[in-house]
Amino acid sequence: MTQTAVAPPRQRSPRTPRRRDMVGLRRARWGWAFTAPFAVFLVAFLLVPLVYAFVLSLQNTTLAGGTSWVGLANYVKAFTDPLFLDGVWRVLLFAVIMIPAQMLVALIAALLIDALTTRFAKISRLLIFVPYAVPVVIGALMWGFLYSPSFGPAQELFGLVGLQAPNFFSDSNVFGSLVNIVTWQWAGYYMIIIYAALQGVDPSIYEAARVDGANAWQIALRIKIPMVASSLLLVLVFALIGTLQFFNEPQMLRGMASGSITSNYTPNIYAYTVAFSYHQFNYASAIAFALGLVIFIGSYVFMFATRKRSGLMK
Amino acid sequence: MTTGLLKAAEPAADTRSIRTGRPVRTRREAPAGRRTGRQVIPHIVLAAFIVYFALPFWWLIVASTKSQQSLFDGKTSPLWFSGSFDLFSNLSSLFSYSGGLYAHWLGNSFLYAIAGGLGATVLSVLAGYGFSMYGFRGRRLFFAIVLGSVMVPATVLVIHMFVIMSTVHLTNTVWAVILPSMLNPFAVYLMKVYTDEAIPSEMVDAARVDGAGEVRIFARVALPLMRPAVVTVLLLSIVGTWNNFFLPLVMFSNPQLFPVTVGLGALQAQAQVNTGGQSLWNLVITGALISIIPLIVSFLTLQRYWQGGLAIGSVK
C-alpha cells in the first residue's frame, strides 16, 4: 500500500509544532468521519456475528439444562468428528485438483488471447468470461441439466465417439462433475485477472527476446508467466478461499445426485445442516469457526510466505 | 499500474499508460503478416474453449423452446430445436405460475441488487477515500481488519446473522438481505487502492490552501477523479448481491421475498420430487434463461468498467 497519502503534507511555510498537531488532529477526525459509516456496518454485520459465533461455540444448550459454558469441548468434538474431518479432507482434495485445473485453463486462455491479436481472440475473451456473470446457483443448475441422463446431451456427445455416457452423479463421478462446474464458472474471471497483468507488461521485452531468437513458446514460458507471477498468486489465494468454503454448487446438485452428495460433503454444508436441520447452533458455530480459523491461518501463512511477489500485504 | 490498466481496458480511449507513459499495446500495433500460418493451432484451442464455455448456454436456449413433453420424449437432440417452437407458451406458464411468483422473484432481485449495490458503493467510496487521504490513529488496524474480513467464511457470518436478525425481528423482511449486502470490504480495498493512485495529494493540499473545506474537496475535486472506480464498484456490488444465494436462502422462508436465485433453487427442488401432477421442468429451464439475461447484457455493455475493476484488484 502506498504511504504517500498518509505522510504529513509538505508545509509551504514553517509552522509551529503546536499548529501542526492541531492540523493532524483535525485530519484524524475527518478520517474517522469518512470511514465511520462503513465501520458501523463492519461492526454490525461482521464483528458482532463473528464474536457471537465464538461465544456460541463455547456454550452448549440443552432443552433440559439450558445454556452452559463448555469451553473448547465443541472444538474437541469437531476435530474428532469423522463427519467434519471427512468434509475437511474432501475440500482439501478439491483444492489440490480444482485450483490447478482452473488456473491452467485460465492461464492458457489468457496467454492465447494476449498473443493473438485477431477479432476472434477478442470475442473469445468475452465468451470465456460470460459464465462469471451467471449466478453460481444458476450455473450449477445448468450443468445439472447437462449431466442429467433424461434430458442432457451427454449420451449424444459420447455416442459420437462410440462411448457410453458416464453417470455424472454416481459416488465416484460427482467429484469430477463438481470440478468441471467450478472450472467453467471461474476460469474466465481468473483469465481476465491474468490477462490484465499480461497487458501491463512492456512489449519491448518480447521484442528483445525475439531478436535473441526466442520462439513464441519460450517467450510464454520464460518471460510472460514469470512476469505475471503476482497475479497468479492472487488467483491462487482467491481460489483457495473459495474452495475451502465450497457450498453453493454441491448444495444445488444434492437434489439431483441423491445420495452421492451427503449432508457432510463439505464443512460448510455440514455446518448448515447442523444449524438448520438439527438446530444445534452451538456445534454449528464451532464447525464454522474452526473452518474459518483454518482458512484464515492458511491464507495468511500463504500470503506471508509469498508477500514479496504478491504485494498484497505490502 | 492501476490507472494505466483502467485506461488500457478502454479500447480507444488512450493508448498510453498514465503512469509509465509507454504505449499500451492495441490490436492495430500487431506486426503485419503474423496473422496467417502459424496461428492455426492457437485458434483451434480457443475455438475448443468457446465450445466448452458456450455449451451450457446453447443447451439452455434450445431447451427453453421445447415443451415439457419434447424435453423428455427423446425424439429430438438435446442440442437442437424440436419441430415446434414453445418458448412463448413456456414464458406464459412461467409468469403465471403460482400467481406470478416468478415476476416477484425478478423484482426482488432487482430491488436487493440495486439497493444493496448503491449502499455498498456509497459506504466504500467514503471509506476508501478516508483510508487513502487521512492518517488517523487505528487506521492500520482498521484496514487490516478490512483485508482479513475477505477471508471469513460466509457460513460463520450468515448463520449467526440469522440468529441476530431473528432476535430483532428482521428475518423475512427485505432488510435482512439489503443491509448485510451493503458491507463490501473488497470494494473498500479497491477504492482505497484506486484513490491512492488517482488523486495526487498535492492537488488536495492546493485545494486546502485555497480554503476549500474537506467535504467540498471530496465532492468537487476527488469524486470526479474517482468516477471510473465508482462505476466499477457499483457494478461489482450489484452483481455480487444479484448472485447471492446463501444469505437470502437463510433469511427468507416466505417465497414472496425470494430473489430469483433462491426461487429457482426451490422450484428445481420441487420439480425433482414432483413425479406426478404438474411438471415444472420447463419452468425451471425458462426461468433460468430469463434470470441470466440482465447480468449478461449489463456485462457485455459495460465491459470496460468491470475489466478495469478486476485489474485494479489484481496488479496492485
Q: Which of A108-112, A257-261, B83-87 is predicted most confidently?
A: A108-112
Q: CA-CA distance, B316 to B311, in Å (whole number)?
A: 8
- Pairing of β A59-62 and β A66-69: antiparallel
- DSSP at A133: G
Please state the rounded mean pLDDT for residues A191-195. Answer: 88
Q: What is the dihedral of CA B290, B291, B292, B298, to 10 degrees?
A: 100
DSSP string, chain B: -HHHHHHHTSTTT-SB-TTT-PBPP-GGGSPTTTTSSTTHHHHHHHHHHHHHHHHHHHHHHHHTTS-HHHHHS-SS-TTS--SS--HHHHHHHHHHTTTTHHHHHHHHHHHHHHHHHHHHHHHHHHHHHHHHH---TTHHHHHHHHHHHTTS-HHHHHHHHHHHHHHTT-TTSTHHHHHHHT--HHHHHHHHHHHHHHS-HHHHHHHHHTT--HHHIIIIIIHHHHHHHHHHHHHHHHHHHHH--HHHHHH---GGG--HHHHHHHHHHHHHH--SSS--HHHHHHHHHHHHHHHHHHHHHTHHHHHHHHHHHHH-
In a mutational test of the B interface, the residue from A21, A40, A141 whose CB has the highest number of chain B CBs within 10 Å is A141
At residue B30, the pLDDT reads: 44
Is the pLDDT at A53 greater than 70? The verdict is yes
**Contact flag B149-A30 (C-beta cutoff 8 Å):** no
CB-nearest partner of B46 from A34, A121, A130: A121
Please state the rounded mean pLDDT for residues A160-175. Answer: 83
Is the pLDDT at A314 greater than 80? The verdict is no
- pLDDT grade, residue A12 (50/70/90)? very low
As beta bridge partners, residue A69 has A59
How buried is residue A2: exposed, middle or buried, by Cβ count under 10 Å (0-12/13-18/19+)? middle
At residue A37, the pLDDT reads: 94
Q: Which of A205-219, B68-82, B144-158 is predicted most confidently?
A: A205-219
- Quickly count: other Cβ atoms within 10 Å of residue B132's Cβ: 26
Q: CA-CA distance, A288 to B157, in Å (whole number)?
A: 9
At residue B307, the pLDDT reads: 65
At residue A90, the pLDDT reads: 92
As beta bridge partners, residue A62 has A66
Q: CA-CA distance, A302 to B141, in Å (whole number)?
A: 20
At residue B200, the pLDDT reads: 85
Residue with cell 462505476: B231
Identity (one letter) of the amino acid at A1?
A: M
Q: Which residues of B touch A291 (CB under 8 A)?
A: 153, 155-156
Is the pLDDT at B164 greater than 50? The verdict is yes
Chain A residue whose CA is closest to B290: A138
In this structure, are residues A5 and B201 in contact, taking their beta carbons and an 8 Å threshold? yes
Domains of chain A by start residue, with CATH: 85-310 (1.10.3720.10)
More confident residue, B279 or A224: A224
At residue A11, the pLDDT reads: 44
Residue A193 touches chain B, beta carbons under 8 Å: yes
More confident residue, A278 or B86: A278
Q: CA-CA distance, A183 to A172, in Å (whole number)?
A: 18
Please state the rounded mean pLDDT for residues A269-295. Answer: 87
Is the pLDDT at B18 greater than 80? The verdict is no
Residue with cell 467464511: B153
- pLDDT grade, residue A41 (50/70/90)? very high
Q: Which residues of B touch A143 (CB under 8 A)?
A: 56
What are B241's three cell numbers?
Answer: 448481491
Tens digit of pLDDT for each residue in B19-46?
444 444 444 444 444 444 567 888 899 9
Element (H, E) at A293: helix A281-305
In this structure, are residues A174 and A252 in contact, taking their beta carbons and an 8 Å threshold? no
Question: Which residues 219-238 of B have a C-beta within 8 angstroms of A?
Answer: none
At residue A3, the pLDDT reads: 39
Is the pLDDT at B6 greater than 60? The verdict is no
At residue A19, the pLDDT reads: 59
- Quickly count: other Cβ atoms within 10 Å of residue A213's Cβ: 7
As beta bridge partners, residue A66 has A62
CB-nearest partner of B307 from A120, A196, A255: A196
- pLDDT grade, residue A221 (50/70/90)? confident
In this structure, are residues A90 and A265 in contact, taking their beta carbons and an 8 Å threshold? yes
Tens digit of pLDDT for each residue in B197-219?
888 888 888 888 888 888 888 98
Closest Cα partner for B78 from B51, B56, B54?
B56
Q: CA-CA distance, B155 to A284, in Å (whole number)?
A: 9
How far the first Cα of chain A sits from its last, in Å, is 6
At residue A223, the pLDDT reads: 87
- As a whole-number percent, the residues of chain B with pLDDT over 70 amount to 81
Cα B280 from chain centroid (whole Å) = 28
Please state the rounded mean pLDDT for residues B267-295. Answer: 81
CB-nearest partner of B156 from A234, A289, A299: A289
- Name every residue whose Cβ is closer than 8 Å to that of residue A270 and which is 6 or more positions away in sequence: A83, A84, A87, A263, A264, A287
Is the pLDDT at A110 greater than 90? The verdict is yes
At residue A23, the pLDDT reads: 73
As beta bridge partners, residue A242 has none
- DSSP at A60: E
Element (H, E) at A66: strand A66-69
At residue B308, the pLDDT reads: 63
At residue B143, the pLDDT reads: 87
Average pLDDT, rounded, for chain B: 80
Cα A46 from chain centroid (whole Å) = 18
Q: Which of A233-237, A289-293, B10-14, B246-250 is predicted most confidently?
A: B246-250
More confident residue, B25 or A27: A27
**Contact flag A46-B149 (C-beta cutoff 8 Å):** yes
- Give ipTM to 2 decimals: 0.81
| Category of A162 on φ-ψ map: left (φ > 0), alpha (ψ -120 to 50) or beta | left
Is the pLDDT at A156 greater than 60? The verdict is yes
- pLDDT grade, residue A117 (50/70/90)? confident
Element (H, E) at A103: helix A82-115
- As a whole-number percent, the residues of chain B with pLDDT over 90 amount to 26
**Contact flag A296-B131 (C-beta cutoff 8 Å):** no
